[in-house]
Copies of this chain bind each other. A is one copy, B any other.
Amino acid sequence: MVSQTANDKRGRILDAAASIFAQHGFFHARVTDIAKEAGVADGTIYLYFKSKDDLLINLFEDRMDDIIATFRGGLGEGLTAGQKLHRFIELHLRLVEEEPALAKVLTVELRQSSKFMRDYQALKFGEYLDLLSDILDEGRASGQFRTTIDPRILKRVIFGALDEVSLVWSSTPQQRRERYELADAATEIWNLCTGGILSTAHRTNTDIARGETA
């Protein structure tokens, strides 16, 4: 309910933090501005969060919980691994499109909290990445994906592709953003995954065309 959000100080502070962090970056964001945006006193923030760093961590964890739940719902049973991968790409980019501020925080600002990079990279974020590697594992098991992929690495590769595309989009001033851009990126990534970039004529029969330059 709307009214619930309106009275939920913790939630309002997190929303404000997302907005202010996205606008000014984590380091340039002033706690007092977050408070103002949230409509609370400066000190109130410290009733809910231990520090500015802690605020960022909590923002991340809260949002990631939502995101992961949404993704889990969207990647339900009855889909092939390929379909799930397609859906994952779509969901990731749709999220970026719908919540650019949040996307910017997750993409850019999070890297600046030393505490985060040290302690949290493996937790919520790992959980998110595991959604991806689970799909890859599943596809490999079902025979849809080639057996030579390494999901531990490939999840990073695909995430990196999504992340960079998202970063560029969310860092682009709104006026210059074009709606189709992210959709195009989705197509591009999906095509890369399914067929690579070689033209049919140049595909070798071997599964993996290695050593071309060796």
Minimum C-beta distance from A59 to chain B (A):
17
On chain A, the number of residues with a Cβ less than 8 Å from chain B's Cβ atoms is: 69
A168 to B152, CA, bound (A): 12
Given B82, B143, B157, B163, which contacts A212 in the complex, CB threshold below 8 Å? B82
Given B153, B163, B188, which contacts A154 in the complex, CB threshold below 8 Å? B188
Q: Name which residue of chain B comes closest to A208, CB basis.
A: B191
Contacting pair B114 A185 (CB below 8 A): no
Given B86, B114, B150, which contacts A28 in the complex, CB threshold below 8 Å? B114
Say if the beta carbon of A44 comes within 8 Å of chain B. no
Given B27, B82, B117, B160, which contacts A163 in the complex, CB threshold below 8 Å? B160
Question: Which 10 pairs, one residue from A and one from B, show the smallest C-beta to C-beta distance?
Answer: A160-B164, A83-B213, A146-B199, A86-B213, A196-B196, A157-B161, A160-B160, A160-B161, A153-B188, A194-B209
A53 to B83, CA, bound (A): 45
Task: Give A176-214 as 1s and 0s: 1 = Cβ < 8 Å from B's Cβ atoms.
Answer: 000001001101111111111111111101011110110
A111 to B105, CA, bound (A): 11
A191 to B167, CA, bound (A): 25
A112: chain B residues within 8 A (beta carbon): 25, 27, 108, 111-112
What residues make up the interface of A, taking CB atoms closer than 8 Å to B?
24-25, 27-28, 79-80, 82-83, 86-87, 90, 108, 111-112, 114, 117, 121, 136, 139, 143-150, 153-154, 156-165, 167-168, 171, 181, 184-185, 187-203, 205, 207-210, 212-213
Minimum C-beta distance from A179 to chain B (A):
14
Sample 27 A-B pairs with CB under 8 A, ordered by A number: A25-B114, A28-B114, A82-B198, A108-B112, A111-B112, A144-B198, A145-B197, A146-B197, A148-B191, A153-B181, A153-B184, A153-B188, A157-B164, A160-B160, A160-B163, A160-B165, A160-B167, A187-B210, A190-B210, A193-B196, A194-B196, A194-B197, A194-B208, A194-B209, A195-B208, A196-B196, A199-B207
Q: Name which residue of chain B comes closest to A187, CB basis.
A: B210
